[in-house]
Amino acid sequence: METSTQNVRSGGVMEGEAPACVSKVLDEDNLLREIIVRVGFPTSLVRAAGVCTRWLSHASDRALLRRFRELHPPRLLGFYLANRERPGGARFFPALPLPPDLAAVVRRASFSLDTARRSAGFSPDTHSDGRTDVVGCWNGSVLTSSQGQNYAHGRSEIIFEVHSPLCSGSEKGAAIIPALHLKVQDGICRLIRQLFFREEGDGFSYFFVTVECTRYHEDSQVHVYMLQNGDDAWRLHLTLASDLLLYPRKSPKGVLVDNRIYLPTDNEIVVLDLVSSSLSTIQLPQGVGFSPIGTTMLSRADDSSGVYLIHIKDLQLSIWLHNGDNWLLVDTICLCEISDNLFDDEPTDEILINHVGDYNEFVFLEMGRCALYLDVKRRTLRKVYEMTTEEQQLGDIYPLMMSWLPSFPALMDSPARNAT
> What would the pLDDT profile of 39-57 be if each residue is shown by its tens digit?
989 999 999 998 899 999 9
CA separation for the pair 291, 295 (Å, rounded): 7
Q: Which of 16-25, 93-102, 410-419 has the highest mean pLDDT?
A: 93-102
Q: Count Cβ neighbours within 10 Å for each residue of 225-240 and write b for 16 or more, e otherwise.
A: bbbeeeeeebeebeeb
For the beta sheet containing 396-401, the strands, ordered from the edge strand earlier in sequence to the opposite edge, are 91-94, 76-82, 396-401
Residue 121 has pLDDT above 70, yes or no: no
79 within 8 A of 397, measured Cβ to Cβ:
yes
Say which amino acid occupies 40: G
| Under 8 Å between Cβ of 147 and 193 | no
Residue type, 101: D
Q: What angle do CA 63, 67, 69 make, to 5 degrees?
A: 115
Q: Which residues contact 281 (CB under 8 A, 6 or more apart)?
A: 244, 268, 269, 270, 271
pLDDT exceeds 70 at position 270: yes
pLDDT at residue 271, rounded to an integer:
95
For residue 264, what pLDDT is reported? 95
SS3 257: strand
Q: What whole-number percentage of the chain has pLDDT above 90?
A: 50
Binned at pLDDT 50, 70 and 90, residue 183 comes out as confident
**Could you give the CA distance from residue 396 to residue 293 in angstroms, rounded to a whole number?**
13
19: three-class secondary structure by DSSP: coil
Which one, of 124, 161, 162, lies nearest residue 146 by Cα?
Answer: 161
- pLDDT, one tens digit per residue, over 159-175 is 999 999 998 765 666 88
Running DSSP on this structure, what letter comes out for residue 95?
-
Average pLDDT score over the chain: 85
The C-alpha atoms of residue 163 and residue 113 are separated, in whole angstroms, by 7
| Total-model pTM | 0.86
Q: Is the pLDDT of residue 124 over 90?
A: no
Peptide bond into 405 cis (omega under 30): yes
pLDDT in tens, 385-398: 999 888 888 999 99
What lies within 8 Å, CB to CB, of 20 at 6+ separation is: none
Between the CA of residue 342 and those of 338, 339, 351, 384, what are the distances in Å? 9, 5, 12, 12
Strand 220-227 relative to strand 188-200: parallel, antiparallel, unpaired? unpaired
CB 280, CB 289: distance < 8 Å: no
- Angle of CA points 247, 193, 398, to nearest 5°: 110
In degrees and rounded to multiples of 5, residue 4 shows phi and psi of -65, -35
Determine the angle formed by the axes of helices 100-108 and 42-49, rounding to 10 degrees: 90
Higher-scoring residue by pLDDT: 212, 123: 212
What number is the average pLDDT over the span 101-106?
94
User: Is the pLDDT score of 227 beyond 90?
Assistant: yes
Backbone φ, ψ for residue 69 (5° rounding): -70, -35
The alpha carbon dihedral of 40, 43, 44, 49 has a sign of: positive
pLDDT tens-place string over residues 323-356: 778 999 999 999 988 887 777 665 557 899 999 9
Query: What are the two backbone dihedrals, phi and then psi, of residue 216, each rounded to the nearest 5 degrees?
Result: -105, 20
Query: For position 84, what pLDDT does the model report?
Result: 66
Query: Which pLDDT value is given to residue 411?
Result: 62
